[in-house]
Chains A and B, each alone.
Chain A
């Protein structure tokens, strides 16, 4: 007979992490398994992100050298460059970093949950619905709730609808995604409808919501988004071991003793929160959610779910896209949504053309 303890390791017994991993124990319940390689990778990503941030702060109509930028960040430098960097470029940069991270993290979660690379918030209509709700609040058709709160409500509604309409097939398969496309189309039409109903001034004030752009954003919302991203990132780390089960089939997850509904609901709530907040800062720029996690997955060599790396690569993509949009055709400024669509569209088509030899992710 096989000894029982082989299958039921004693909880009090010290758990030895596998090779290349480190186990962090916080209190009694929370245990986080950290891959050492992932830590190194993320440190590299942070360094690259910082580098591109310094570049972004320096490049523009008025060029500022990286040395000067660093001096300004630490409180020195001429008043002119201080004004440009701190008052003009820094808020925008922060908005780019946070929205990129939020979209990308949300995309990574949604893709993992649906086991489908195409299931990103932008494609399944969450962006559009958040936009429609926010616009309805701006033009005064909502219940006088702040646009950001309405954006969150819209994100939640669209997700619920997409799941409901996907029917018995669950989140698997393309049915879920085409249902999302339909919802996105309706939300887009409703937005147009609302905009065509009101006077031109109100429509103009609602316009920034409908294009993905980082210019002239509410600094208060950027701070809220920053806090939201931080909280969600920590939550992701805490639940990382549960999320790691998501790629398996429902039977396997249940067999491993996890509560699949509970995991899904947590992932969904995180996803909706991140998308709603990000849309309320930058409008629908959802294609970042397609590209960011993919780069992270390639960097991670398809091992595990690269949540932190996704957030970092998303931020990086957003910062670079905004930089390109600002500089490539200056003095005309391209909204970042257009840059990401021009880059992300061909990439999406490439995903569809390429037959994936690996898993569905």
Chain B
């Protein structure tokens, strides 16, 4: 065990780290099923899990909390992976879908759809994904036009500007439509509560597509981390890789946003933690993002349920409170690490 801590992150064996992360994730999931705001005590929930509960308890545990946990699992997974991909493609440790305006683009599209007559229950995930794609392209375009892809902080500024613009437009749209405003009010801060598992099933095809994109690009991305020229020399096409990755990010973030609303900072914290554990290689980081994202989202969700009983606080708020210090830490670190 001591040896595990003394080696550099890049030398740690991936399976052992991954196994321990999976163990923690399982623990979090069980906790998420056991703890909650209602009157159900943890040991009663445990009995229910083992099959000896009342009908009420069964409803709470299997219907409410299980759905919630599954949604949290999915959102953490997608946002963590999207963050890692985005940071690899921008070669920027501060790139994060929420900060860069991808989530804002997505929520703008959702608000637009709501005003045009959709409702949150029947909302198609595709709209959110198209919005996310447009948000992505805007940010990348801005960063490219200024010709300073290497300056990580400027990219964040462009994203912040774009986010504030899109948020203003979203609230502008919502002013016209009281019904849409009511539907979106809780959604806009990000939450995993009260969602339906059917949405989860409806996003599966696009997730499959994203998975194929990731499998195709993981290796080229690792060589892209060594620089554009190295990647070209190794026979990859950086432009095409970037395009595919951006599509994958849009698919992932759009799906997560459609289900849980814009949850910021997950994409920043998860890859940051993953890199600290297994080093900067994207192929290893992506593996570790799989359990880490859900761990963070589910933990945040448990806290958000417990802190403000019997009400609960929006998940997006909690992730911002956890994530912003990480942003500050990265910015403060003496030498900004370039990926």
Question: A residues bordering B, Cβ < 8 Å?
Answer: 118, 123, 165-167, 173-175, 177-179, 181-183, 185-186, 188-190, 192-193, 196-197, 211, 287, 332, 334, 337-338, 341-342, 345-346, 348-349, 352-355
How long is the Cα–Cα vector from A345 to B176 in the complex, in angstroms? Answer: 21
| Those 6 A-B pairs whose CB atoms lie nearest each other, nearest first | A345-B165, A341-B168, A189-B320, A174-B153, A348-B161, A186-B324
- Contact among A192, A332, A349 for B162, CB-based, below 8 A: A349
Cβ–Cβ < 8 Å partners of B172 in chain A: 334, 338, 342
Which listed residue (B164, B176, B331) contacts A178, Cβ 8 A?
B331
Which of B40-48, B124-132, B142-150, B286-294 binds A? B142-150
B2 interface residue per 8 A CB criterion: no
Summed over the interface, the residue pairs from A and B with CB atoms below 8 Å come to a total of: 121
Provide the bound-state CA to CA distance between A165 and B329, in Å: 9
**Are B165 and A123 closer than 8 Å at their CB atoms?**
no
Segment 253-282 of B: residues with Cβ below 8 Å from A: 264-265
- Selected from A174, A196, A354, A355, the residue in CB contact (under 8 A) with B313 is A196
What DSSP secondary structure best describes chain B's contact surface? Answer: helix
B157→A186 contact, CB < 8 A = no
A189-B321, A197-B313 in contact; A341/B164 too (CB < 8 A)?
A: yes
A165 to B332, CA, bound (A): 7
A181 to B160, Cβ gap below 8 A?
yes
A332 to B175, Cβ gap below 8 A?
yes
Beta-carbon contact of A352 and B158 below 8 Å = yes
In the complex, chain B residues 288-333 whose Cβ is within 8 Å of any chain A Cβ: 308, 311, 313-314, 316-318, 320-321, 323-325, 327-328, 331-332
Question: Which residues of B does A touch, CB under 8 Å?
Answer: 94, 99, 142, 145-147, 151, 153-154, 156-158, 160-162, 164-165, 167-169, 171-172, 175-176, 189, 264-265, 308, 311, 313-314, 316-318, 320-321, 323-325, 327-328, 331-332, 334
Least distance between A210 CB and chain B CB atoms (Å): 11
Taken together as a complex, chains A and B put the C-alpha atoms of A348 and B325 apart, in Å, by 25
- Contact of A353 (CB < 8 Å), options: B142, B169, B171, B313: B142
Closest to B321 in A: A189
Given the complex of chains A and B, what is the CA–CA distance between A338 and B175 in angstroms? 10
Report yes or no: B313 in contact with A185, Cβ–Cβ below 8 A.
no
Q: Are B146 and A183 in contact (CB under 8 A)?
A: no
Contact of A345 with B317 at beta-carbon distance under 8 Å, contacts A181-B156, A182-B328 already known? no
Docked complex Cα distance between A332 and B172 (Å): 11
Question: What are 15 residue pairs bridging A and B, where the CB atoms are less than 8 Å apart in the complex?
Answer: A165-B331, A166-B332, A175-B331, A182-B328, A183-B328, A196-B313, A211-B171, A332-B175, A337-B168, A341-B168, A349-B142, A349-B158, A352-B154, A352-B158, A354-B146
Q: Whose C-beta in chain B lies nearest to the C-beta of A125?
A: B324
Contact B165 A349 (CB under 8 A): yes
Asked whether, in the complex, the Cβ of B316 is within 8 Å of the Cβ of A192, the reply is: yes
The chain A residue with its CB closest to the CB of B138 is A349
Contact yes or no, B331 A189, CB < 8 A? no
Contacting residues, chain A, for B158 (C-beta < 8 A):
349, 352-353
Closest CB-CB distance, B98 to chain A, in whole Å?
9
Query: Which residues from B are CB-within-8-Å of A118?
Result: 157
B164 adjacent to A345 (CB under 8 Å): yes
Asked if A178 meets B94 with Cβ closer than 8 Å, knowing A165-B328, A167-B332, A338-B171, the reply is yes
Assess whether A352 is in contact with B142, with CB atoms less than 8 Å apart. Answer: yes
The answer to whether A193 touches B142, judged by C-beta atoms less than 8 angstroms apart, is no
**Judging by beta carbons under 8 Å apart, are B168 and A342 in contact?**
yes
- Min CB gap B1→A, angstroms: 34
Across-interface contacts of A167 in B (CB, < 8 A): 332, 334
Q: Closest CB-CB distance, B190 to chain A, in whole Å?
A: 10
CB contacts (< 8 Å) of A186 on chain B: these are 320-321, 324-325
Given contacts A177-B157, A183-B328, A341-B168, 6 further A-B contacts (CB under 8 A): A166-B332, A173-B153, A189-B318, A338-B168, A338-B175, A345-B168
Contact B153 A175 (CB under 8 A): yes
CB of A92 to closest CB in B, whole Å: 19
Per the bound structure, the CA–CA distance linking A67 and B151 in Å amounts to 55
The chain A residue with its CB closest to the CB of B189 is A192
Asked, given contacts A183-B324, A188-B320, whether A346 binds B165 with beta carbons under 8 Å apart, the answer is yes
**What CA separation (Å) do A46 and B155 show in the bound complex?**
38
Whether the Cβ atoms of B175 and A334 lie closer than 8 Å is yes
Q: Which A residues are in CB contact (< 8 Å) with B189? A: 192, 196
Contact between chains at A193 and B171 (CB < 8 Å) = no
A236 to B244, CA, bound (A): 54
Docked pose: A38 CA to B160 CA in angstroms = 35
Question: What is the distance, in angstroms, from B213's C-beta to the closest C-beta of chain A?
Answer: 28
